[in-house]
Each structure stands twice: as structure tokens, then as C-alpha cells.
Structure 1
Amino acid sequence: MIILAATPIGNLGDASQRLRDALASAEVIAAEDTRTTVHLLRALNIENRPRLIPLHEHNEVAKATEIVELAREADVLVLSDAGMPAISDPGFPLVAAATAAGVTVTALPGPSAVITALAVSGLPTDRFCFEGFLPRKPGERRKALAALAREPRTMVFFESPNRIAEALADVATTLGPERRVVVARELTKLFEEVKRGTAAELTDWASAGVKGEIVLVIEGAAPVAASLDGGVAQVLELVASGTRLKDAAAEVAEATGLSKRDLYEGALAAR
């Protein structure tokens, strides 16, 4: 089978006993960075020296078939550098190939930067979405944020310390300076810090420079009180820009709380 194993995101003490046992008995490990895996084995005082197969963003599609075939005969442990494989890390193409081939996939749960940051953020946790890394280029980043302007769920992102100040400034510009945000950096490590405030406040804070691995958590949009006529107008604007009527009605309904059916029928009548 394929075994996805979560590894510590900072504190080595978070390595579970199941992870330690799996590392000690593994014959084959597919690893994002084999050097990191060797360091982990040594740090945990595990003497096992399994076969290591590199599985990273540049080769994971090509390697998937080979690893799936190996997993028909023996367990293959899959590791990313930190956290759970396949969550903004290599692993998804392998899991997809394995499930398509009828090979069992299981997981050894453990540390996750996404869930850890969300849990300590103080923002709503009942509904959330993970958006991975924001685009590097400013224009593309602002466009991505604009597309999420009416997203009601708490949003979680990864971000580089070199771009966090610019990203926060774009959040303030695109989503509003009063939108609540949280920057969680160096989670589980010695210098862990969770900074909470508005987008404007944290933009000022980050302008002096921020170091470490960062998770950005952004408050979802507040429900917008809207009239049916106003909602229909929004639907028609989306349709004019190329969105299908059914999809436009669904999008506006989610953002406003208005009935999708009423929006759809109202837009039809107004066309």
C-alpha cells in the first residue's frame, strides 16, 4: 500500500510513535527531499536505512507509476519535508494514480501547518478553505484576492517571508484595511509567533521585515445584505462578462444569501 506519513513541521517531539515505527520498518520511502529524510532518521535515532526514492514537484507525475507498481508488492512510505504529503506538497498525483490502479492508500496523521495556524488564529474554524501559496506577481496576487473578496469562509494561505508585507498590503487594498488577518510564523518552533490584527495593522508590522515559515489566515467576508433587484443586477453583470447564468446565480446567491432560484428566474425575466 501507499502510506502518507505526516512529519514534524518544526518541533521534533511531534513525531508520533506510529511515524517512528513506520520509519524503523520501512523498506521503501518516497521522499520530497531524501536528504531531509536522512536527517530525520538520524534525529530520531532510527538505524533503518531504507531505499529512498525522490518524489518532488518536478518528477512526481513521472514517478507515480513506478511507485504504484512498487506498492503492489510492498508498503511504500511517502514523506514531505514537513507536514502531510499531498497538502501543498508532493503526493497528490501519486495518490490519484494509486487509487485509479486499485492500490490501497492510507495515512499516518500528524502535524499540519494549515490546521495548526487555523486553530490558534482566533478566527472562525467551523468553515474554512485552504488556498496554498498566493501568486508571486503583484497583479496576479491582487486578482486572486479579488476573486476571494466575497468568500465567507476563513481562508488559509502559505506565504514567503520575503513577500508577506506586499501580500498584506494587497489584502488591505483588495479586501479592505479592516479585514481581520493572522500571521502565524515558525509554528511549533522556538520562536513561534502568532500576530493578530487588521490587514492595515499587520501591513505596518510586516514592513520592518518578517522571518521564518509563514501561514496567513484571513477572515471570511461578512454576509452582504442585498435586495433581490440588486442581486439580479449582479447576476446580469457576471453574465455580461462571460459567466453562465446558472453559475452566476449560484455565485451571487452564495455571496448574498439570496435564493439562487429567485436570482436565476429574475435574471431570465430581465434579459
Structure 2
Amino acid sequence: MLASQRRDRIQVLLEEHGAVRVSDLVEDLGVSDMTVRRDIEALARDGLLERVHGGAVAAGRLSSHEPGFVAKSSLMTLQKRSIAAHAATLVEPGAAVAVSAGTTTYELARCLRGVADITVVTNSPPVAQLLYETQTPGQTVILTGGIRTKSDALVGPVAVGALRGLHVDRLFLGTHGLDAGAGLTTPNLVEAETNRALVASARQVCVLADHTKWGVVGLSSFLELEGIDLLVTDDGLVPHARAELADRVTSVVTVSARSTAARRRARGA
């Protein structure tokens, strides 16, 4: 593939998703990490995109840019499913859990469909709808209400008010970005406030984030790394990030997307 063809492809993906990651482009284009970075630099010089840590966003879309739920659902799907599968093993009948909005937490909801006798509090209409349609015996779903964002989260005073006074055993929390300095971040100021209310409602905070979230900084921080009781991520996380997280997060679990994919193929055989 010629350089001009690669760069056209990068611009098409930006138009579709609003943001691209170097790791995804390497796989999509079949070229090296350095080649992708050179292409991004060339497009940035021409003002056709904005470089960010680990990738690029469409010109003019930086820390306040919020990709939609559908766009994010197509990214890092194997990693998200592997993370969700592990997180689901932490939920036992009788538990009360909160599940934040997000595409990784939506994958968790898929895994929870067969778990009976649990209460799920969520600010995600897709999560609530998925669990409601399953009709698992004894499963209670509480949807917070609030103003709906592009990423399909319900946020604002109504959501915060619904969460105030609730006490759950564990919160499963997604995030736009995960950074050594900024902690957990989101492009949406109001969503940050709602996420803080979710954190306040939980005895344990479990963050679900694939490796591409590391180094991404949104507009507003809502939780320091030290506030995470358990982080479930995938084995694509770079070594220096693993070391940083090991020092500051109570517990870090790394899962393999490749082994999960292999198990699924075996079951289908």
C-alpha cells in the first residue's frame, strides 16, 4: 500500500470514528508502528488531524471530543470481551453491583445475563436494556435516569440524585482515559460528576480499561489511580505503564485476548 493510500485510509477512519489509535492502525494497514507514526505526523503537518498520545483525533477534536457508543464498540473488541469475562467472575448471586456506561462495561453486562439474584445499578441505557430483555430470575436492574450523552451515559443532577444514598458491593467502572498524572478522565464535565457519585456509592471500585486507554487524557479527571481497588486490563499494556500501575493501584489483573479468542474457537469446534 502506497503512503498516499495509507493516509487516505487514516482520514476515512477519522471521519467514521473521530479518533484512531496507532495500535489499531498498525493492524488495519499491515505496516509498522513507525510507519503509522510518520503518516500521522505528515497529516498533522497538513492540518488534517491532531496528534494525541497513542494516536490521532480529527482536527479540532482534542480533550473535549467524545466519540459515540457505536464508534467505540468497534474498537479493541477482543480485549474488551476478555476483560469483561474476568470481571464477571467477581459477581456472585446476592451481590449488588453498579455498572457505569461504556463499551467495555456493556460487554460485562453480556456476561452477567445468566447470573441470577443480583441487583445492577447503572447509568447506561444499553446495559439496562440488555439485562431487562434477558429476564434472568431474581435479577433487578435500576436505571438512574438523567441527561443522555453521545456515549450513551445518563448524567447530571438526576443521575447523581439517584445514586446518592445507594450502597453497592462493587462498582465496575469504564473510562475514556487512564493516565499517571490525570488519573481517570472523561471528555464530559457532567459525566465526571456522575462518575464520582458512582464511586462514592461503592465499597470497591473495579476499573475495566483496555491498554489503549493508557496515556489518554480527557477534559475532566474524576478519580486518582490510588482510588482504584482493582484494575482489569489486557496484556497489550506497555511495561512502564504496568510498573506505574503496580505502584499505585491496589490490585492489577492482566488478561490475554488471544487466549480468550482461542477458547471461543475451541468451543465452536
Please indicate, yes or no, whether the TM-score normalized by the shorter chain is above 0.5.
no
Give me the TM-score of the superposition, normalised by structure 1: 0.30
Give me the TM-score of the superposition, normalised by structure 2: 0.30
> Considering only CA atoms, is the larger Rg found in Structure 1 or Structure 2?
1
